[in-house]
Structure 1
Amino acid sequence: MLLSKRQPSSAIQWIEKAKYHKSREPYFKFLVNPHIRYAAFLFVFLSLWFLLHVFCFPPTKTRPLPETQYATTTVAAVSTATYEVHQNPKTAAKSSSPKCNGRVSVYVYNLPPEFNMGLLDDCSHLNVYTNMCPHVANHGLGQPLDNMDLASSDSNPWFATHQFIAEMIFHARVENHPCRTWDPAKANLFYVPFYGGLHVSSKFREQNHTIRDALAFKLIDYLQDQPTWHKHNGKDHFIALGRTSWDFMRTDSGPDFGANCLLNLPSVNNMSVLTVERNPWKGSNQHGIPYPSYFHPSTLDQMLTWQRMMRQSNRPYLFSFIGAPRKAVDKAAIRDEMIKQCMESTRCKLLRCDRGNPQCYNPSEIMRVMQESQFCLQAPGDSFTRRSTFDSILSGCIPVFFSRHTAYTQYAWFLPEEASKYSVYMDEQGDESKRIEEKLLKISKEDVERMRAKVIDMIPRLTYAHPNASRSDLGFEDVVDVALEALAQHVRNKIQDNLATAESR
């Protein structure tokens, strides 16, 4: 849907060069001249300090991930932008961040390019609806946004990020993560960086199921040839997908809208699957991860500054809705009701996205509407979830849900257990959804302030930090940090349960 790009931040190495000045004066003048004597002593001291610094504390060989611009004339420019992040030497990945906490040790498979980076060579055909070349630039962040708050900082944290690109950003973050290990024997997690979402969206119109499914089968064949797979039969392996689970769970009985069979494969069922929308009924191995929004900070200061701005923002509207009507009967009713109620209320800000409204594709306009609202209505989209939920939280706007599957059953690792602390729920089939304004006006000012404070506190763990950032720069846990920590615990429990079951037989 949207795009984005950029970020620098590099470690600056400096080496002090002592200059030896040869004097032609006799040695006894060196002894009697206090200025020369002081300079000599200073030179000796600095030389010794320099030698100690070089040999005892060698400079870290850190190389930042590259910044690149999208070139409209060549796909190679985009390919280069995303390739180099995966070519960092081992020493760079190990030294660019502080030591991991010990609970997570993730090994990243170096897959053949056809499963990830090679797909970007044909970026203009990765989606049947849009040219993805500008979106895959900058490790999936897309193009930079220069008209946003904080955009003038040294490292612009704002990008027009596509909503279905999480798999690329996740990959780039793990490549530079402090918990990454290059030794599979030390790993408790094995990350399979398959760009399944980008691949499946390129095949939506492929009528031949064999062709549509071919790369998924090929991936499983590759994994089953790896010794690391067989230790736990893939139970310690995981993939991250930027599209909803429905795009990978084609069934013979249901309508064919272009999905493949990846998540139906028995081997994949052994793995853990991170996806922006899990199947609430058949997705026991699926775990929801947030959609990427537009904000990708590389420092704690950027995050704290943004949170402070959201706490201080003026919100003249009680509620707002950003979206378009839906044609499908099951989705149209609640959206039509929201649009109707919003149009009738002076307390509601409506941004209609039908008829190609360009404001709906402008991140600054989307953020402005939400920043001016106390509550943001989150109707289900083409599926249960929508990226707007995370845009809302980023804006400090309290989300209002009408289906439990929009957030509550999706993102257990990321959201508080008590939904009422940060959100409002109205059953789309109930009477409350027919009187949205009335329901929201009943919430006390104190409760609104408490909920907004909680929403703003949630921003860091729902944000994808810039891939260049190390944890020492961040000072907070982002989506990838939270996911890896939760995954490691989940995998430990799963393996222990399997061992206990085997011993009881």
Structure 2
Amino acid sequence: MAVSISRKRPKSSSRNLEAKQSYFGLTILYNFLSRVSALVFLIILIYMWSSFSTLITGNIIHVCFSTRKLNNLYCLSAGTHPSFEIPTSTNNSSPIITPGIDQVINDTDERVANAVKVVEEQLQVHRSWRSKSNKNYATCDGKGIYVYDLPSKFNKDLVGQCRDMVPWQDFCRYLSNEGLGEPIAKLGKGWYKTHQYSLELIFHSNVLRHPCRVFDQTVAKLFYVPFYGGLDILRWHFKNVSSDVKDSLSLELVKWLERQGPWKRNSGKDHVLVLGKISWDFRRSNESPWGTRLLELDKLQNPIKLLIERQPWHLNDIGIPHPTNFHPHSDNDIISWQLKIMRSNRKKLVSFAGAARANADDNTRSTLINQCTSLGNGKCHFMNCSSVKCDEAEVVIELFVESEFCLQPPGDSPTRKSVFDSLISGCIPVLFDPFTAYYQYPWHLPHDHDKYSVLMDKKEVKEMNVVERLSNISLRERENMRRYIVYELLPGLVYGDYNAEPHKFQDAFAITINNLLQRVSTLEQ
């Protein structure tokens, strides 16, 4: 019996043990699934929050865009500069209140309005620096320009690395001819294969020949620092290097400048840097490895920075036009092109040269492409840059010269070189965000943007047919806008060639230099 009992107990114990193990396993599975569910829910909440186009943290507002270059949102942040904050009415001593959705939305709208107000106030300051001279060169009396002879590692040596700069193409052909690139015979005199990142070379070449250039530092009022910071960034974009490597040349530049007498005298306030990439490429954040921290360095807050896209909440960031492919040598080159595009037979009502952004949170582009391609009546032409070589200027310019309106939604960043391509082609740009142009170029575009463009709220794009709405703009309105673009704006949006001899017109470079000299004169007041 004892033996019999001893054999049965293990069976009972075995069943109990299996039950306990089963229960224990189910408990673990339940806890795991509960935690996974909670985690998934949290991730969804974070994703929903991060998808908003406007984010707010404390007194800082971030207007955000998606980009193919970065894994996170690409944000234009106000309130991050040490001496600048958005004028909000936040009272830090108030008790913490958890607001309802309506209250959050109202507070967000108010802060966005305040941020935009700050941007517009800064643009007014920039416009106050405009030179009153309508001549190609303002008088040089007491306004000498000194060009630093930087060590070659800050400019020429960077150009020498052009073959290894971009993995899939030889970048040297774009940087030849002092930044203009190779001529484009098909488009005629003054047209070149200029890359959108060639501004540093073009500006440097022109300022070396400027009549106000002086070789004596003691008589200079404006000091130009020919650092090719855009090329410095570009050479590291597609290489796996550390942030220290990316920042090394920027830090060396600061050390070099600090040894110069003129820099010490005014802490760099009368100095200017011209950078051929967008501001955000020089403002690397802790969350992304993209770009350098050149413009975040404390020592470089005082100089004026001229960029193809400015940071809207930094007063010393000033936007100047993207280089286009047209570089006229004389007044006749400009006049001939003006006559050609005014006489053009614009067979297409609307055109869009670009590509969809597959991973973009803001799908304005996809909506516009769908609207354009679904019409089937010839009113809208979509040039898919995923399959067509849109970097070949003649292809894009020929399309724009035949079009009444050119759609210009934001791309990897708010601004687009294509905006300037459309303007110099006499094609009226259709914008979907004021940061694309209105808050960027106070010296080269007028405050009254209705004279040269159409603005549509991108939030309403899904609710309307953009092409049909543009067709409702009368022929007379279109003609008036086109005449203003071609005869008033176009000459000041292009950079002449390095030996340009215009007398009647001011090009983009002349406007910029005259305004810089005007800005320097205000420092003495």
- Per the normalisation by structure 2, the TM-score is 0.71
Residue 415 to residue 130, structure 1, CA distance change in 2 (3 Å):
same
Are residues 1:203 and 2:236 paired?
yes
Instruction: Tell me, in whole angstroms, the C-alpha distance in 1 between the residues paired with 2:465 and 2:142.
Output: 48
Counterpart contact for 1:320–1:376, Cα < 8 Å: yes
Residue 130 to residue 291, structure 1, CA distance change in 2 (3 Å):
same
Quote the offset at 1:341 in angstroms. Answer: 1.1
Q: How does 1:374-385 map to 2 (within 5 A)?
A: 374-385=404-415
Match of 1:124 among 143, 163, 171: 163
Instruction: Tell me, in whole angstroms, the C-alpha distance in 2 between the residues paired with 1:178 and 1:99.
Output: 10
Are residues 1:158 and 2:188 paired?
no
Counterpart contact for 1:141–1:160, Cα < 8 Å: yes
Q: How does 1:289-368 map to 2 (within 5 A)?
A: 289-331=320-362, 333-345=363-375, 346=377, 347-354=379-386, 356-358=387-389, 360-368=390-398
Instruction: Tell me, in whole angstroms, the C-alpha distance in 2 between the residues paired with 1:484 and 1:371.
Output: 30
Determine the structure 2 residue equivalent to 1:423.
Answer: 453
Instruction: Tell me, in whole angstroms, the C-alpha distance in 1 between the residues paired with 2:361 and 2:210.
Output: 42
Determine the structure 2 residue equivalent to 1:481.
Answer: 510
**3-state SS in 1 of match to 2:416:** coil
The letter for the 1-side match of 2:510 is: D
Instruction: Tell me, in whole angstroms, the C-alpha distance in 1 between the residues paired with 2:218 and 2:142.
Output: 15
Residue 434 to residue 188, structure 1, CA distance change in 2 (3 Å):
farther
Are residues 1:460 and 2:499 paired?
no
Q: How does 1:378-417 map to 2 (within 5 A)?
A: 378-417=408-447
Which whole-Å deviations, capped at 9, do the CAs of 1:343-374 have from their partners, x for residues lacking one? 123211211111x323x232111111100111
Counterpart contact for 1:107–1:184, Cα < 8 Å: yes
Determine the structure 1 residue equivalent to 2:317.
Answer: 286
The letter for the 2-side match of 1:191 is: Y
Instruction: Tell me, in whole angstroms, the C-alpha distance in 2 between the residues paired with 1:382 and 1:98.
Output: 36
Match of 1:175 among 176, 194, 208: 208
Quote the offset at 1:287 in angstroms. Answer: 0.5
Determine the structure 1 residue equivalent to 2:262.
Answer: 228
The letter for the 2-side match of 1:350 is: F
Counterpart contact for 1:206–1:212, Cα < 8 Å: no
Moved more, 482-491 or 317-326: 482-491
The letter for the 2-side match of 1:420 is: D
Quote the offset at 1:327 in angstroms. Answer: 2.3
Instruction: Tell me, in whole angstroms, the C-alpha distance in 1 between the residues paired with 2:306 and 2:463.
Output: 31
Determine the structure 2 residue equivalent to 1:263.
Answer: 295
Alpha-carbon RMSD across the aligned residues, in angstroms, is 1.8
Counterpart contact for 1:128–1:202, Cα < 8 Å: no
The letter for the 2-side match of 1:479 is: A
Which whole-Å deviations, capped at 9, do the CAs of 1:399-458 have from their partners, x for residues lacking one? 110011110001111001100011000011125873212221222221111100111121
Determine the structure 1 residue equivalent to 2:522.
Answer: 493
**3-state SS in 2 of match to 1:234:** coil
Determine the structure 1 residue equivalent to 2:307.
Answer: 275
Match of 1:110 among 145, 149, 153: 149
Instruction: Tell me, in whole angstroms, the C-alpha distance in 2 between the residues paired with 1:272 and 1:394.
Output: 27
Gaps of 5+ in 1: 1-96, 497-505
Residue 433 to residue 453, structure 1, CA distance change in 2 (3 Å):
farther
The letter for the 2-side match of 1:326 is: R
Residue 102 to residue 438, structure 1, CA distance change in 2 (3 Å):
farther
Residue 490 to residue 100, structure 1, CA distance change in 2 (3 Å):
closer
Number of corresponding residues: 386
Determine the structure 2 residue equivalent to 1:240.
Answer: 274
Counterpart contact for 1:299–1:475, Cα < 8 Å: no
Instruction: Tell me, in whole angstroms, the C-alpha distance in 2 between the residues paired with 1:433 and 1:166.
Output: 39
Residue 227 to residue 118, structure 1, CA distance change in 2 (3 Å):
same
Quote the offset at 1:210 in angstroms. Answer: 1.1
The letter for the 1-side match of 2:519 is: H
**3-state SS in 2 of match to 1:171:** helix
Counterpart contact for 1:194–1:239, Cα < 8 Å: yes
The letter for the 1-side match of 2:337 is: W
Instruction: Tell me, in whole angstroms, the C-alpha distance in 2 between the residues paired with 1:430 and 1:298.
Output: 43
Counterpart contact for 1:432–1:439, Cα < 8 Å: no
Instruction: Tell me, in whole angstroms, the C-alpha distance in 2 between the residues paired with 1:335 and 1:404.
Output: 16
- Per the normalisation by structure 1, the TM-score is 0.74
Q: Percent identity?
A: 38
Counterpart contact for 1:272–1:287, Cα < 8 Å: yes
The letter for the 2-side match of 1:227 is: G
Counterpart contact for 1:427–1:433, Cα < 8 Å: no
Moved more, 479-488 or 214-223: 479-488
Determine the structure 2 residue equivalent to 1:55.
Answer: none
Instruction: Tell me, in whole angstroms, the C-alpha distance in 2 between the residues paired with 1:268 and 1:128.
Output: 31
Counterpart contact for 2:443–2:512, Cα < 8 Å: yes
Quote the offset at 1:115 in angstroms. Answer: 0.4
Instruction: Tell me, in whole angstroms, the C-alpha distance in 1 between the residues paired with 2:275 and 2:460.
Output: 34
Which whole-Å deviations, capped at 9, do the CAs of 1:309-361 have from their partners, x for residues lacking one? 11111111111100001123234x1110111111123211211111x323x23
Determine the structure 2 residue equivalent to 1:250.
Answer: 284
Counterpart contact for 2:142–2:219, Cα < 8 Å: no
Which whole-Å deviations, capped at 9, do the CAs of 1:186-217 have from their partners, x for residues lacking one? 22211001011011110123431111100000
Determine the structure 2 residue equivalent to 1:30.
Answer: none
Structure showing greater radius of gyration is 2
Determine the structure 1 residue equivalent to 2:18.
Answer: none
Quote the offset at 1:122 in angstroms. Answer: 2.0
The letter for the 1-side match of 2:156 is: M
Counterpart contact for 1:371–1:395, Cα < 8 Å: yes
Instruction: Tell me, in whole angstroms, the C-alpha distance in 2 between the residues paired with 1:353 and 1:402.
Output: 20
The letter for the 2-side match of 1:492 is: S
